[in-house]
């Protein structure tokens, strides 16, 4: 029987609409192959929402997302909106979506494609075989902690304040996701904190250590965040699954992404305890190349694969997309950001068309 899913599409800003169009075409083809029916509904977020209705996350968008089976997001932001006050920034819309859907777990894989080894700024022997999953806490920590703001002191000086705070419940739920993720991978989990300085990190470390007893098959280690940043570029092959707080995860996932040399290839999944997840590329909206048919749609396509795997529990369909991307690279097709001598550079749309041919050749 055909399975039907309602998918909310949030193309957003910059290259968002171009790469989203490719991912939607791919999903339709894979849907035919795998007997899946997708009903797509599009909504506004980020800069386009600001321009259209004056807010970065319209209530209507959040409600549509809440009612759907999964949300596929492209990218938000652009120079034009960078000057607006914080509550009217595209990023505030994204943070509102994460909070509104209670997406506390952010999975960011950083996997080297053997065909793209040259794209990394690190030596091939350092990055060969790298396959890391960063599990980032996404709705707590310093991003959301109170008090926050810029306040006047008694002497009339301005003072900026943010608060890094985690409750035990917040730590435990991300820890469980991380341990379960490590179990499905190579069974190694490294928790990253700053417990030598921060009380909130000491609590984090204590809870993770405590919960490890429930996962005897997972080998747990701890690193301070500064050391983790260094180890990631020194010897990334030592890592399997990393778990860390919101801010540290923001930073470390960019480092992990850059190991692969091709941020245009990396997808992500943001998941809650229940309800729809949000699936989006790690890269941004690249306003400098928007509308020129030059964008790399592969992170968006791989985000659609993550949506199938982690959001809709359709691993066969996910694998089909991932295999098609692998074949495309194997055949030497590239977008400009990942080109190297001897490869064929195609535009965004042509990459999509080639992927569809590969899928249909099966």
Beta bridge partner(s), residue 160: 150
Number of residues that bind ligand IPM (CB under 6 A): 4
Confirm whether 333 is a catalytic residue.
no
Residues composing the chain: 362
3-state helix, strand, coil in the chain (%, to 5): 50, 20, 30
Residues that bind Mg ion (CB under 5 A): 250
In the bound state, the residue with its beta carbon closest to ligand IPM is: 91
Q: Are 29 and 23 in contact (CB under 8 A)?
A: no
- Between 93 and 236, CB nearer to ligand IPM: 93
Q: Which residues contact 148 (CB under 8 A, 6 or more apart)?
A: 161, 162, 163
Q: Which residues contact 333 (CB under 8 A, 6 or more apart)?
A: 343, 344, 346, 351, 354
Work out how close the CB of 319 gets to ligand IPM at its nearest, in angstroms, rounded to a whole number: 26
- Between 220 and 263, CB nearer to ligand IPM: 263
229 binds, among Mg ion, ligand IPM, none (CB under 5 to 8 A by kind): none
137 binds, among ligand IPM, Mg ion, none (CB under 5 to 8 A by kind): none
Based on the shown chain and the rule CB under 6 A, indicate whether residue 13 belongs to the binding site for ligand IPM.
no
Confirm whether 51 is a catalytic residue.
no
- Between 115 and 296, CB nearer to ligand IPM: 296
Q: Are 90 and 56 in contact (CB under 8 A)?
A: yes
Q: Are 15 and 46 in contact (CB under 8 A)?
A: no
**What's the Cα-to-Cα distance from 289 to each of 25, 83, 305, 335, rounded to whole Å?**
21, 21, 25, 12
**What's the Cα-to-Cα distance from 163 to each of 157, 158, 166, 202, 288, rounded to whole Å?**
19, 17, 10, 15, 34
Based on the shown chain and the rule CB under 6 A, indicate whether residue 50 belongs to the binding site for ligand IPM.
no
Within residues 69-128, the interface with ligand IPM by CB under 6 A covers: 91, 94-95
Confirm whether 143 is a catalytic residue.
yes
Determine which one of 69, 194, 215, 240 is catalytic: 194
Work out how close the CB of 136 gets to Mg ion at its nearest, in angstroms, rounded to a whole number: 9
DSSP state of 163: -
Backbone angles phi, psi at 336, to 5 degrees: -55, -35
- Between 254 and 293, CB nearer to Mg ion: 254
Work out how close the CB of 277 gets to Mg ion at its nearest, in angstroms, rounded to a whole number: 18
Instruction: Give first-to-last CA distance, the chain, whole Å.
Output: 22
69 binds, among Mg ion, ligand IPM, none (CB under 5 to 8 A by kind): none
- Between 14 and 31, CB nearer to ligand IPM: 14
Determine which one of 5, 143, 310, 333 is catalytic: 143
Based on the shown chain and the rule CB under 6 A, indicate whether residue 240 belongs to the binding site for ligand IPM.
no
Within residues 260-279, the interface with ligand IPM by CB under 6 A covers: none
Residue of 314, 303, 320 whose CA lies nearest to 355: 320
99 binds, among Mg ion, ligand IPM, none (CB under 5 to 8 A by kind): none
Based on the shown chain and the rule CB under 6 A, indicate whether residue 250 belongs to the binding site for ligand IPM.
yes
Determine which one of 69, 193, 250, 337 is catalytic: 250
The DSSP bridge pattern shows strands 36-42 and 70-75 to be unpaired
Q: Are 192 and 251 in contact (CB under 8 A)?
A: no
- Between 58 and 77, CB nearer to Mg ion: 77
Work out how close the CB of 359 gets to ligand IPM at its nearest, in angstroms, rounded to a whole number: 29
Question: Which residues are known to be catalytic?
Answer: 143, 194, 226, 250, 254
Chain residues that interact with ligand IPM, rule: CB under 6 A = 91, 94-95, 250
């Amino acid at each position: 029987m055909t399975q039907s899913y309602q998918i909310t599409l949030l193309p957003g800003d910059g290259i968002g609409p171009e790469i989203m169009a490719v991912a939607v075409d791919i999903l339709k083809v894979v849907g035919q192959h795998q007997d899946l029916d997708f009903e797509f509904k599009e909504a506004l977020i980020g800069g386009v929402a600001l321009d259209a209705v004056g807010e970065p996350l319209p209530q209507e968008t959040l409600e549509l997302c809440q009612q759907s089976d999964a949300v596929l997001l492209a990218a938000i932001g652009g120079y034009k909106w960078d000057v607006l006050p914080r509550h009217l920034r595209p990023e505030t819309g994204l943070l509102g979506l994460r909070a509104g859907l209670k997406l506390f777990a952010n999975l960011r894989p950083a996997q080297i494609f053997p065909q793209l080894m040259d794209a990394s700024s690190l030596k091939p022997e350092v990055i060969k075989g790298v396959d890391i999953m960063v599990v980032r806490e996404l709705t707590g920590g310093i991003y959301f902690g109170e008090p926050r703001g810029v306040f006047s002191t008694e002497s009339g000086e301005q003072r900026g304040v943010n608060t890094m705070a985690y409750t035990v419940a917040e730590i435990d739920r991300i820890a469980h996701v991380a341990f379960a993720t490590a179990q499905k991978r190579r069974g190694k989990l490294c928790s990253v904190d700053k417990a030598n300085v921060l009380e909130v990190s000491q609590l984090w470390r204590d809870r993770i250590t405590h919960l490890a007893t429930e996962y005897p098959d997972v080998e747990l280690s701890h690193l301070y965040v500064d050391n983790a940043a260094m180890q990631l570029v020194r010897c990334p092959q030592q890592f399997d699954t990393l778990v860390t707080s919101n801010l540290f995860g923001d930073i470390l996932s960019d480092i992990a992404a850059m190991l692969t040399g091709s941020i245009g290839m990396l997808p992500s999944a943001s998941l809650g305890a229940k309800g729809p997840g949000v699936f989006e590329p790690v890269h941004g909206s690249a306003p400098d190349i928007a509308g020129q048919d030059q964008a790399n749609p592969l992170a968006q396509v791989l985000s659609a694969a993550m949506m199938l795997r982690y959001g809709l529990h359709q691993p066969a369909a996910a694998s089909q997309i991932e295999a098609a991307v692998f074949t495309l690279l194997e055949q030497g097709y590239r977008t400009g950001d990942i080109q190297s001598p001897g490869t064929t550079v195609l535009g965004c749309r042509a990459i999509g068309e080639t992927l569809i041919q590969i899928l249909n050749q099966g």
